[in-house]
Structure 1
Amino acid sequence: MNRIGLIVSTLLLLVVVAGSTLFVVDQRQFAVVYALGEIKEVITEPGLKIKMPPPFQNVVFLDRRIQTLDSPETRPIFTAEKKSLVIDWLVKWRIVDSRQFIRNNGVDMRHAETRLAPIVQAAFNEAVTKRTVREMLATDREEVMQEVRKNMAENAKSFGIEIVDVRTKRVDFSSNITDAVYRRMGSERKRVASELRSTGLAEGEQIRADAEKQRDIIIAEAYRDAQKVKGEGDAKAAAIYAAAFGQDPQFAQFYRSLEAYRQSFRGRSDVLVLDPASNDFFRAMRGSSGAAAAPRK
């Protein structure tokens, strides 16, 4: 039995030792093999690999995928106009030289990002201080990102990494400047609104004055035309009257007397105090003999 137990223990030990010598490299990883604390081999091809058992050799895995580094904090950057801007950025990077990466940063990816962040921030500072606010917000934004990426290329080699891309997520004024800008924009909009209202009132008054002028002109022209038509009508009427009355003067005189009576006695309460015998106004009422009718008793 002791012999069987020894054989089983030996087999288990061989299995453990064999298991410690085998490892799998994923296609998303680098495998770095250490031999007594020194880098012996960097394996980039995926698959099943063999190494010596610990403590003779150890293996460490590094992520070979593209990593994203976001700006850790928003620090204001001064432009060429001495205006303070806040820039949020991100950097895409990946390991291309695992030996160099481990020598400078160890195997902790976060340690590398901690060292890389201030270098990116310094590159942005250098690019922004040469430009105005307008250039940063509009015209030179893409150029700034390319310049930062170019400046980062040399530092990236010492890190054993490659800078894949640099992007700005947000470019804005700092909070105190933003409030001042908003207040200035509000004042400017109010000034423009007041100018527009003043211009509108002036144009409204001008339109009303022109309309009143046109109205007075139209009324005057209409009155002139009406008086002209009326005068022509009166002239034609007078000509007709003259032609008609010329045929019988006595009838014309009688007709005019009736018109005079009609105009004089418009109301029932109208009273005229005259001497019928000595006044020609009542000649038409005296009859054909011209003598006044004797009053009834």
Structure 2
Amino acid sequence: MNKPLMAGLTGMLALFMLANSIFVINEGQQAIITQFGQPVRDRFEDAGLYFKIPFVQVIHYYEKRILKWDGEPNEIPTKDKKYIWVDTTARWRIVDPLLFLQRVDNIGRANLAMSDLINGAVRDFVTKNDLVEIVRSSDWDPAYNMLTDEEGRKAKSVTVGRDGFSQLVLNNAAANLQDYGIEVLDVLVKRVNYTDQVREKVYTRMISERQRIATERRSEGEATKAQIQGETEKKLKEIVSSAYKTSQEIRGRADGQATKIYGDAFKQDPEFYRFWATLEAYRSTLGSNTRLVIDADSPLYQYLTTSQAKR
């Protein structure tokens, strides 16, 4: 075998050995080195280029960032016999990669372990508490209750509440998952919903309650409307009556003044007044096509004969 070939093979082997002895840790990663299944160094947390013994030592990479766990919705009966769907989620991270490697080794198994522990804690709490403890916050007060039916009147105060429920599940899961090298940061209830059967009953009750409230509001509105209309009509009659009274008083005073003026004027010449009154009677009685038949003793006839005699 010639020397150039040997040199090439040696170089390729050296490069292969070098490539297997170098590893890179990226941002957001951490790693553990094992040799024959046993850890040989503390974990690597800082990003950078590192060396290891090729072929003998193995690198195990794990996420250093916060991870999300999403559980499957579970159908669970509450203490007051209401079947509900509970959907939870959690945030977690790997704080001890060596312990994580020894217990679960990968993210998939970790999610399975979290599902068992968190779902178990959720089921345990739900079955031991009424529905209100899961859907209402811990600061809920019975004064907020707007329902007036029998069930609404029986509403009780919340002792734990939705936020307390999440905290209890978190405490339970965090204590158990420490043995897996996992730190659970929080557990949240994404959704609480009734099963289909219960949901229909709840919707029917909600519709009935809203219709009852609407009817009550309409009745109150009609009563207020009738009261306002009655008061308006009463005030209107008072105004009209007062105005009519005032107008009659003014008219009476005016008529009295007119009568006095007429009387004072006609006292000065009674004969002229009688003559003027007769003329007014002629004007109001006779028209363009009127034929008048009167007695010779009538006052109307008197001035006619007097006028003819003077001619």
TM-score by length of 2: 0.73
Matched with 2:279 is 258
Q: Report SS of the residue matched to 2:221.
A: helix
Matched with 1:165 is 186
Structure 2, unpaired ranges of 5+: 139-160
RMSD between superposed Cα atoms in Å: 3.4
* Structure 2: distance between partners of 1:257 and 1:10: 156
Q: How does 1:3-152 map to 2 (within 5 A)?
A: 4=3, 8=7, 11=10, 15=14, 18-19=17-18, 22-24=21-23, 26=25, 28-35=29-36, 38-45=37-44, 47-51=49-53, 54=55, 57-105=56-104, 107-128=105-126, 129-130=128-129, 132-133=131-132, 136-139=135-138, 140-152=161-173
* Structure 2: distance between partners of 1:274 and 1:20: 150
1:57-85 deviation digits (Å, cap 9, x = unpaired): 45141304245343332113344444344
Per mean C-alpha deviation after superposition, the further-off stretch among 16-25 and 82-91 is 16-25
Identity of matched residues, %: 30
* From 228, 231, 239, the counterpart of 2:249: 228
Larger Rg, first or second structure (1 or 2): 1
- The answer (yes or no) to whether the contact 2:85–2:192 under 8 Å persists in 1 is yes
Q: Report SS of the residue matched to 2:187.
A: strand
1:119-155 deviation digits (Å, cap 9, x = unpaired): 1111122334435436534333332222222111231
Whichever residue aligns with residue 181 of structure 2, its letter is: G
**Per-residue deviation at 1:287?**
0.6
- The answer (yes or no) to whether the contact 1:83–1:133 under 8 Å persists in 2 is no
Distance 1:78-1:133 versus aligned 2 partners, 3 A rule: farther
* Structure 1: distance between partners of 2:133 and 2:217: 28
Distance 1:17-1:237 versus aligned 2 partners, 3 A rule: closer
TM-score by length of 1: 0.76
* Structure 2: distance between partners of 1:69 and 1:83: 29
How many residues of Structure 1 are paired with residues of Structure 2 in the alignment? 281
**Per-residue deviation at 1:21?**
6.6
Matched with 1:244 is 265
**Per-residue deviation at 1:20?**
8.1
**Per-residue deviation at 1:112?**
2.3
Distance 1:70-1:85 versus aligned 2 partners, 3 A rule: farther
Matched with 1:275 is 295
